[in-house]
A and B are shown apart, each in its own frame.
Chain A
Amino acid sequence: MESPRVSRYRIVSRMEKAKDHVELILEAPVLARAVPGQFVHVRTPGTLRRPISFSRLNPVRGEAGLLFQVVGPGTAWLAGREQGDWLDVLGPLGQGFPRPEPDRPWCLVGGGVGIPPLYAALTAWQNDVTASIDAILGARSQDYLIMLEDFGAQIDHPIAVTTDDGSVGAQGTVLGPLAHWHARHPTGQVYACGPMPMLAAVARLMQTSGVAYLALEQRMGCGVGACLACVVMANGPEGPLWRRVCHDGPVFRAEELIWS
């Protein structure tokens, strides 16, 4: 595994992916060897870095992508970067997704800006999986849906899409299509990333059978396990304990976590 380092990387391209969503591609051979689900801590003006997952990892071209939604000053500053600018990045950080089991049906479930790390997982491992591969992408509305074309270019059958307002795909959340998929593939493997309530629901659904890996978000300080800011409640050998999203995660097995 690549050990984390602080380095500057050049932005080789910048794309507007949807309303308020920007993807930056970095020329970063070291980061490109990271594991999907890992993240970087990006320097922006202000006291703390900003955690962003890899949206793409291309070790052959030596490129890594970061796709983010503009939600505040840090991401607004990032969205203002242009091709040729340099980013100061700490990473790769955390534990990514495991390699999927080849013969288990695989479903990638992304909500909003939770979609990008699943795309990185898909492109890294789709050739390893001989069982079926499906994707379920959810967003607030059509304007905010990201990476549908990227997924479409990799998966040769329809991708389930849901939006809160029904402006594209089925109205509702990713849970509807996922329940469907789970009924057809009870022993399948689910990789999910998105808002906490969505992940909690995915964990509940997958309790009966199959396996689920969830990529979590939490407010962070250091990003390397030193400050204990980014904790989530998990099951320990002697009862509940806090685990660090930045160091023990961001990817956890669903049954490791305790949902309040």
Chain B
Amino acid sequence: MNLAVRVGAVRLANPIMAASGTFGFGPEYQGLVNIARLGGIAVKGVSPGPWPGNPPPRVWETEGGMLNSIGLQNPGVEVFCREDLPFLRTTKTRVVVNVIGRTIDEYCQVVERLEAESGIDALELNISCPNIKEGGMSFGQDPEHAAQVTRAVRACTKRPLWVKLSPNVADPGAIAAAVERVGADAISAINTVVGMAIDVKRRRPALGGISGGLSGPAIKPIALRVVYQVAQSVSIPIVGMGGIRSVEDVVEFLMAGASAVMVGTATFAEPGTMEAIIEELPGYLARLEVSSVHELIGAALPGR
């Protein structure tokens, strides 16, 4: 059974990757997850300098999912290159660096600093960050700003450039089309869905960051709809994610138009989730009477 897929120029041994922010910088799950078996890993978002993140509590369990308000805490690109990249270079899997910034300049600073470094297979722009020059609304809110940041970053690098969409927008297809026009190589979708919870014991918002991002099975239908819509709006490949726990979930994303997927929240409860899916995928494909992952990509799209 052929599990290999391509996301543009990036070839993955199988379509299962770890989602940004849920797998640290790689070594944290050593001994629990065999990284070499994964299709790839997306590391925690990296900014030009250190970001402190939000006050705790930073996570809160909800029905069928969880909220997080980590606030993109990370040590900055310099420390990342010095302390985390050496380990990532030794891994036998694809490494995707998730990039964050509060201005277009900041995104470019990170990407330019990474240019000198080996061991990076793709960049994933997280455009859900607050755009401080435009009053804190995220870059991902409208096609114009999403295209501006993507165009600027495109000019700094030849590396495969994936743009990660926020689902908290009216028309994700339009945003995907806008970033495709200015040179994005793939679309990652989706980031978390904005939400909140109240801690009745404290009579306060449950999260230190007040609102947070919903992830886990609860958002899978939202994610599938975004992937399905984006697949009809662009011709570049899609990396799908949102609530994936099982091989059947993966196949749903493939059929909706994703070429590969990422698993995030499910790893917290079951660190073995990704490897279990990779294990089960050949049998599942055989039952569907296909001989490669490739045959399923977009199978549920209109006209297929």
Binding site for B on A (CB under 8 A): 3-6, 43, 46-49, 90, 218-232, 242, 247
Q: Is the CB of B61 within 8 A of A222?
A: no
Cβ-defined partner of A242 (8 Å) among B32, B52, B57:
B52
Q: Is the CB of B56 within 8 A of A48?
A: no
Which of A49, A224, A226 is the most central at the interface, judged by chain B CB atoms within 10 Å of its CB? A226
| Closest 7 A/B residue pairs (Cβ) | A226-B24, A226-B28, A229-B59, A219-B57, A229-B58, A225-B28, A221-B59
Q: How far is the CA of A223 from the CA of B270 in the complex (A)?
A: 11
| B contact residues, total (Cβ < 8 Å) | 33
Q: Which chain B residues lie closer than 8 Å to A219 at the CB level?
A: 56-60
Q: Is the CB of B24 within 8 A of A47?
A: no
Binding site for A on B (CB under 8 A): 21-24, 28-29, 31-32, 44, 52-53, 56-62, 64-66, 68, 70, 73, 216-217, 265, 267-272
A46 to chain B: closest residue by CB: B61
Q: A197 → chain B, closest Cβ, in Å? A: 13
Q: How far is the CA of A70 from the CA of B49 in the complex (A)?
A: 43
Q: B256 → chain A, closest Cβ, in Å? A: 23
Q: Which chain B residues lie closer than 8 Å to A230 at the CB level?
A: 56, 58
Q: Say whether, besides A222-B28, A227-B21, A229-B68, A47 and B265 are in contact (CB < 8 Å).
A: yes
Q: Is the CB of A229 within 8 A of B70?
A: yes
Q: Which chain B residues lie closer than 8 Å to A46 at the CB level?
A: 61
Q: Which chain A residues lie closer than 8 Å to B61 at the CB level?
A: 46-48
Q: Is the CB of B32 within 8 A of A47?
A: no
B215 to chain A: closest residue by CB: A47
Interface of A (DSSP majority class): loop
Q: Is the CB of B56 within 8 A of A6?
A: no
Q: Is the CB of B58 within 8 A of A228?
A: yes
Q: How far is the CA of A144 from the CA of B216 in the complex (A)?
A: 35
Q: Which chain A residues lie closer than 8 Å to B265 at the CB level?
A: 47
Cβ-defined partner of A4 (8 Å) among B21, B31, B59:
B31
Q: Which chain B residues lie closer than 8 Å to A226 at the CB level?
A: 22-24, 28-29
Q: Which chain A residues lie closer than 8 Å to B268 at the CB level?
A: 47-49, 221-223, 227
Q: Is the CB of B32 within 8 A of A5?
A: yes
Q: A78 → chain B, closest Cβ, in Å? A: 15
Q: Is the CB of B269 within 8 A of A224?
A: no
Q: Is the CB of B216 within 8 A of A242?
A: no
Q: Is the CB of A228 within 8 A of B73?
A: yes
Q: How far is the CA of A100 from the CA of B303 in the complex (A)?
A: 71
6 contacts between A and B (CB under 8 A): A4-B32, A43-B270, A219-B60, A228-B53, A228-B73, A242-B53
Cβ-defined partner of B64 (8 Å) among A47, A220, A223:
A47
Q: Is the CB of A48 within 8 A of B58?
A: no
Q: Say whether, besides A227-B59, A231-B53, A48 and B32 are in contact (CB < 8 Å).
A: no
